[in-house]
C-alpha cells in the first residue's frame, strides 16, 4: 500500500530546534539544541537529549565535532535496567503546560511544578536557552505587556552542575560563572583578563599581561608579580599540584615562585595550584575559599610607540636598521651631523610627548578601564541632555549614545553637589568606583572632570529600577523576586568585604537597584555617598539616605559602619517579598501602613500567607518565604551589632546557614 499523498515528508512541528510548544513530544533519540548566543542563531553547544535508555538529559557538546562530552548536568533518572517497562519512552509537553516523561508502563514523571498558570489564559513554551538552562515560560493571552515569565528552570545551578573534565563549563575558558536570576548563568572575566570576543560574554577570556617561564632569572618573582584575592571562586578542573597541609602565606609563596601557576586556591589548610587555561570557573559561597590570582605588578605590557615595537625580534631589527642609517650619516660632515642629531632629538621628543598625552589623557585614574570624556562629547552623546532617565540625591541621569567597547546606549549622571575645587578627591573616588567589578553592580564606564562639570558614565540598564518593577501593576514572580533579593545581597557583600577599598553605600533603596536585560539586580550609585562628602562636613551625625531606609544609628552620635546598609537591605527585602512600599497611606492601609511593623506582626502570629496573598508560587514554598522574612527582620534590628553581615545574609538567604527566629527589632527605651 503506497504512502498517502496527504502525508508530509517532513514537518517542523516534529523537528523542533531549541523550543517545545504544547502538544509536542520528543521520542527516544530526539533532541533540542541551543543557539550559539543570544544574537547568533547557529548551532550552540548545549543539547537536551531523550536517550535510548529512557533518560532525558542535558549535555554539552564539542562544537564543531558534535561529540557529546561525558558529563550530564541534568538527568531525569527515568531509565531502569532491571525493568524496561519502568523506563522513559518519550518527553511530552501537554496543551495545559504540564511536561513529563511518559514511561513505557504509561506512568508519568512530572517535571513541571504542581501549580501551573492556566493554559487557556496563557501561552506556554519550553526553551533550551543559549546558556544551557532549560526554562519553561508562560505569557498572558490577555495582557500583552506582561512579557514572558519563568515558571521553572533546570538545572538549579548550572555553574556547579557542569563539572566534567572535558570542555570549558557553562562559561568559556578563564571565565567565571555566577548564578543570576531564573537560574541563568552570568559570566565575567576575572580582573587582569578580557574577553577574546568582546561580543561573546559567555566565551573565553585571555590574560591582558604575560606570565612566562622565559622570565625566570630576569628578576625576583616579588618584583614581577602580585596577587588579587577573590573569595569563593574556583576553577576545579585546572589543578596541577596540591599542597597539604599548607598555610595561606605558604600557598601564595608556592604560586609566586612557580612560573606555571596563575592561580592558587586556599581552603581548609590545603592549597591547589592551577595553570592556564582555567576551566569550569564558578562562584560558590559554600566553598569558603580564597583564590589568589597572579598578575603583573606593572599591569598590562607597556603600549608600543609606532616605529618602536615592544617585540624583541622586531625591535632589534629596527635598531639595526637605524644604526646603519646613523653610521652612514655620521660619516658625513660635522655640521650635517649636528643638524641631523638636533632635528632627530627634537622630533623624537615631540612625537613621544604627544603620544604619551594621547595614551594618558587628563584622567589620572590609575590602573582602571575608565574612560575620560570631554564635556562636549557628553553633550553630543545626550543630544544636549534631552532624555532624562531619572533623578536622585546625587544628580540627574540622562540617556546617551556613544560607542564604548560593545556598548552604544549609556546612562550619564550629572553630579550637582561636588566641590569644584576638590579635583584630586574626585579623581580618587572615581578610581575606587571604577575598580569595582561584580555582576550585581552597575559598572562605571567613564567620567568627565572638566571645569565646573562632574559627570559619570554608566552601563545602561534596559529594565529600569527595581521600584518600577515591584511596585507596578503586574506583580513579578516569586522566583524573580528571590533572585533579585539574593543578587542585591551578593552585590553588597562584595562592596563590604571583597573589593580593594571597602564601600558603604548609605542609600540602598529600590530606586537605586537597576535591572539589566535579564532582570539581574545591579546596585547603582555605590561610592557616591563618600564622593558627595567632598564638600560636606564629615561628622558622624551627618545623615545620608532616604526616609524609611535609614538605620537608627544615623540619628545618634555613634559610629556609622557597613551595618547601615544591612538595615536598609532588610527594609528592601521586605518590600521585595510583599511588593509593597515601606510606608503606605494610613487611611487606606490602617495598621498595615508601616511595612516593618506589619511584617513583624504576621511573623509573630504565624500568618505569613497574608504577606503574599494569591501568590501561589510563594505559598507553595513556605519554608523559603519564612526564611526570607526572618532574614529581613534580623537585618532591621535596632542594635547594629545584632544585625548579620551581608556575607552571612547571603548564606542565610541561600539556606546554607540556619536562620533562627529573630527577636523584636525595636528597643522602646531608646528615643529616636
Asked, for residue 271, whether it belongs to a domain, the answer is yes
Residue 414 assigned to a binding site? yes
CATH code of the domain covering residue 41: 2.90.10.10
pLDDT at residue 576 greater than cutoff 90 = yes
Helix (H) or strand (E) holding 27: strand 24-27
626 inside domain: yes
Residue 199 shares a structural domain with residue 88: no
Shared-domain flag, residues 266 and 119 = no
Name 572's bridge partners. Answer: none
pLDDT of residue 286: 81
pLDDT of residue 436: 84
Same domain? 151 vs 19: yes
Say yes or no to pLDDT of 425 above 90. Answer: no
Same domain (yes/no): 442, 482: no
Domain boundary among 245, 271, 296: 296
- 415 and 484 in a single domain? The answer is no
Beta strands in 245-302 (DSSP E): 263-267, 270-274, 282-283, 290-296
Please say if the pLDDT value at position 510 is more than 60: yes
pLDDT class for 274, splitting at 50, 70, 90?
Answer: very high
3-state secondary structure 333-376: CHHHHHHHHHHHHHHHHHHHHHHHHHHCCCCCCCCCCCEECCHH
How far apart, in Å, are the Cα atoms of 574 and each of 232, 277, 444, 475? 27, 43, 29, 15
> What's the average model confidence in pLDDT over 585-614?
86
pLDDT at 288 over 90: no
Residues 210 and 97 grouped into a single domain? no
Q: CA angle, 653 as apex, 649 and 654 as ends, to 5°?
A: 115
Tell me the CB-side half-sphere exposure of residue 196, using CA atoms within 13 A. Answer: 11
256 pLDDT higher than 80: yes
Range picked from 58-72, 406-420, 546-560, 573-587 for highest mean pLDDT: 573-587
Q: How far apart are CA 129 and CA 307, in angstroms?
A: 48
Lowest mean pLDDT among 28-42, 116-130, 334-348: 334-348
Distance, CA of 519 to CA of 480 (rounded, Å): 8
Give the model confidence (pLDDT) of 382-404 as tens digits: 999 999 998 776 789 999 998 66
Residue 399: predicted pLDDT = 93
Answer yes or no: is pLDDT of 114 > 90.
no
- Choose, from 234, 507, 525, 615, the residue flagged as catalytic: 507
Considering the domain boundaries, does residue 348 fall inside one? no
Q: Does one domain contain both 259 and 138? A: no
pLDDT at 242: 94
- Kindly state whether residue 65 falls inside one of the protein's structural domains: yes
- pTM of the shown model: 0.49
Q: Are residues 202 and 222 in the same domain?
A: yes
Residue 249 to residue 252: CA distance in whole angstroms? 5
The answer to whether 200 is a known catalytic residue is: no
Report how many domains make up the chain: 4
Q: Is the pLDDT of residue 495 over 60?
A: yes
**Are residues 494 and 399 part of one domain?**
no
Residue among 419, 390, 423, 385 at smallest CA distance from 401: 385
- The fraction of the chain above a pLDDT of 70, given in percent, is 78
Domain boundary among 280, 296, 312: 296
Q: Are strands 444-450 and 371-372 parallel, antiparallel or unpaired?
A: parallel
Q: Is the same domain home to 44 and 149?
A: yes
Q: How far is CA 289 from CA 98, 169, 185, 231, 264, in A?
A: 41, 20, 21, 6, 10
5-22: average pLDDT: 78
Give residue 213's pLDDT.
Answer: 77
State yes or no: pLDDT of 669 exceeds 60: no
pLDDT at site 359: 36
Segment 142-157 shows an average pLDDT of 83
pLDDT tens sequence across 521-574: 999 988 777 655 544 433 344 555 566 788 888 777 677 789 999 999 999 999
pLDDT of 119 > 70? The answer is yes
pLDDT in tens, 159-172: 988 876 667 888 99
Structural domain includes residue 172: no
> Which domain does 600 fall in, by range?
470-521+542-654
| 206 occurs within a structural domain | yes
CATH number of residue 428's parent domain: 3.30.200.20
Task: Reply yes or no on whether the pLDDT at 100 is more than 90.
Answer: yes
Supply the CATH number for residue 276's domain: 3.50.4.10
Q: How high is the pLDDT of residue 304?
A: 32
Instruction: Check whether 408 has a pLDDT greater than 50.
Output: yes
Residues 498 and 382 in one domain: no
Poorest-pLDDT segment among 138-152, 271-285, 335-349, 635-649: 335-349
Q: Judge contact between 227 and 196, C-beta under 8 A.
A: no
- Rounded to the nearest integer, the mean pLDDT of the chain is 81
Q: Using DSSP, state whether 426 is helix, strand or coil.
A: helix
* Over residues 90-109, mean pLDDT: 93
Within a domain: residue 180? Answer: no
Residue 355 located in a structural domain:
no
pLDDT of residue 218 exceeding 60, the answer is: yes
- The cell 503506497 sits on which residue? 2
pLDDT band at 208 (very low <50, low <70, confident <90, very high): confident
Per-residue pLDDT at 356: 41
Confidence of residue 176 (pLDDT cuts 50, 70, 90): very high
Question: Does pLDDT of 193 surpass 70?
Answer: yes
Q: Write the CB contacts of 14 (distance below 8 Å, at least 6 apart in sequence).
A: none
Question: Which pLDDT score, from 0 to 100, does residue 130 have?
Answer: 92
pLDDT tens digits, 315-348: 444 444 444 444 444 444 555 555 556 655 555 5
Residues 266 and 235 in one domain: yes
Say whether pLDDT at 209 is over 90. no
Over 50: is that where the pLDDT of 143 sits? yes
Return the pLDDT at 76: 92
Amino acid at each position: 500500500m503506497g504512502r498517502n499523498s496527504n502525508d508530509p515528508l517532513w514537518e517542523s512541528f516534529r523537528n523542533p530546534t531549541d523550543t517545545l510548544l504544547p502538544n509536542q513530544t520528543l521520542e527516544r533519540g530526539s533532541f533540542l539544541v541551543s543557539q550559539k548566543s543570544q544574537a547568533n542563531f547557529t548551532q550552540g553547544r548545549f543539547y537536551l537529549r531523550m536517550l535510548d535508555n529512557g533518560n532525558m538529559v542535558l549535555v554539552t557538546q564539542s562544537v564543531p565535532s558534535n561529540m557529546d562530552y561525558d558529563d550530564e548536568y541534568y538527568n531525569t533518572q527515568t531509565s531502569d535496567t532491571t525493568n524496561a517497562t519502568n523506563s522513559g519512552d518519550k518527553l511530552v509537553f501537554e496543551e495545559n503546560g504540564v511536561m513529563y516523561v511518559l514511561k513505557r508502563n504509561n506512568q508519568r514523571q512530572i517535571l513541571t511544578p504542581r501549580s501551573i498558570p492556566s493554559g487557556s489564559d496563557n501561552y506556554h513554551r519550553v526553551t533550551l536557552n543559549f546558556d544551557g538552562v532549560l526554562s519553561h515560560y508562560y505569557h498572558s493571552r490577555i495582557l500583552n505587556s506582561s512579557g514572558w515569565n519563568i515558571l521553572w528552570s533546570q538545572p538549579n545551578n548550572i555553574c556547579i552542575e557542569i563539572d566534567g573534565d572535558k570542555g570549558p563549563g557553562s562559561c568559556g575558558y578563564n571565565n567565571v560563572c555566577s548564578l543570576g536570576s531564573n537560574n541563568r548563568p552570568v559570566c565575567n572575566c576575572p580582573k587582569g583578563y578580557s574577553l577574546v570576543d568582546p561580543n561573546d560574554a559567555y566565551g573565553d577570556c585571555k590574560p591582558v599581561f604575560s606570565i612566562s617561564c622565559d622570565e625566570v632569572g630576569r628578576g625576583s618573582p616579588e618584583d614581577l608579580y602580585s596577587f588579587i584575592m577573590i573569595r569563593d571562586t574556583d576553577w576545579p578542573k585546572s589543578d596541577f599540584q596540591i599542597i597539604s597541609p599548607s598555610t595561606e602565606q605558604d600557598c601564595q609563596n608556592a604560586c609566586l615562585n612557580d612560573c606555571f601557576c596563575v592561580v592558587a586556591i586556599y581552603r581548609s589548610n590545603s592549597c591547589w595550584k592551577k595553570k592556564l587555561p582555567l576551566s569550569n570557573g564558578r562562584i560558590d559561597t559554600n566553598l569558603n575559599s580564597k583564590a589568589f590570582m597572579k598578575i603583573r605588578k606593572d599591569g598590562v605590557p607597556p603600549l608600543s610607540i609606532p616605529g618602536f615595537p615592544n617585540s624583541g625580534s622586531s625591535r632589534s631589527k629596527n635598531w639595526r636598521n637605524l644604526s646603519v642609517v646613523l653610521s652612514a650619516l655620521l660619516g658625513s660632515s660635522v655640521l650635517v651631523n649636528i643638524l641631523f642629531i638636533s632635528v632627530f632629538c627634537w622630533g623624537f621628543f615631540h612625537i613621544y610627548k604627544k603620544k604619551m598625552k594621547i595614551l594618558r589623557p587628563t584622567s589620572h585614574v590609575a590602573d582602571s578601564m575608565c574612560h575620560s570624556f570631554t564635556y562636549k562629547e557628553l553633550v553630543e552623546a545626550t543630544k544636549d541632555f534631552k532624555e532624562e532617565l531619572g533623578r536622585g540625591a546625587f544628580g540627574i541621569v540622562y540617556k546617551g549614545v556613544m560607542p564604548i567597547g560593545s556598548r552604544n546606549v549609556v546612562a550619564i549622571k550629572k553630579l550637582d553637589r561636588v566641590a569644584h575645587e576638590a579635583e584630586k578627591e574626585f579623581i580618587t573616588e572615581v578610581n575606587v568606583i571604577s575598580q569595582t567589578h561584580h555582576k550585581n553592580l552597575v559598572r562605571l564606564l567613564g567620567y568627565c572632570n572638566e571645569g565646573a562639570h562632574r559627570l559619570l558614565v554608566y552601563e545602561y540598564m534596559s529594565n529600569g529600577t527595581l521600584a518600577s518593577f515591584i511596585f507596578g501593576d503586574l506583580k513579578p514572580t516569586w522566583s524573580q523576586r528571590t533572585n533579585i533579593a539574593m543578587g542585591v545581597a551578593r552585590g553588597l557583600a562584595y562592596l563590604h568585604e571583597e573589593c580593594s577599598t571597602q564601600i558603604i553605600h548609605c542609600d540602598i533603596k529600590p530606586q537605586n537597584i537597576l535591572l539589566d536585560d535579564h532582570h539581574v539586580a545591579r546596585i547603582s550609585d555605590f561610592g557616591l555617598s563618600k564622593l558627595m562628602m567632598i564638600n560636606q562636613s564629615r561628622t558622624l551625625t551627618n545623615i545620608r539616605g532616604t526616609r524609611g531606609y535609614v538605620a537608627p544609628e544615623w540619628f545618634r552620635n555613634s559610629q556609622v559602619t557597613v551595618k547601615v546598609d544591612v538595615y536598609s537591605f532588610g527594609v528592601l527585602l521586605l518590600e521585595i517579598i510583599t511588593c509593597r512600599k515601606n510606608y503606605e497611606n494610613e487611611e487606606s492601609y490602617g495598621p498595615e501602613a508601616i511595612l516593618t511593623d506589619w511584617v513583624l506582626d504576621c511573623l509573630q502570629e504565624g500568618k505569613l500567607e497574608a504577606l503574599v496573598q494569591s501568590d501561589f508560587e510563594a505559598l507553595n514554598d513556605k519554608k523559603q518565604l519564612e526564611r526570607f522574612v526572618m532574614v529581613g527582620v534580623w537585618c532591621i534590628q535596632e542594635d547594629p551589632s545584632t544585625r548579620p553581615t551581608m556575607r552571612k545574609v547571603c548564606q542565610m538567604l541561600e539556606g546554607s546557614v540556619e536562620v533562627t527566629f529573630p527577636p523584636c527589632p525595636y528597643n522602646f527605651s531608646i528615643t529616636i
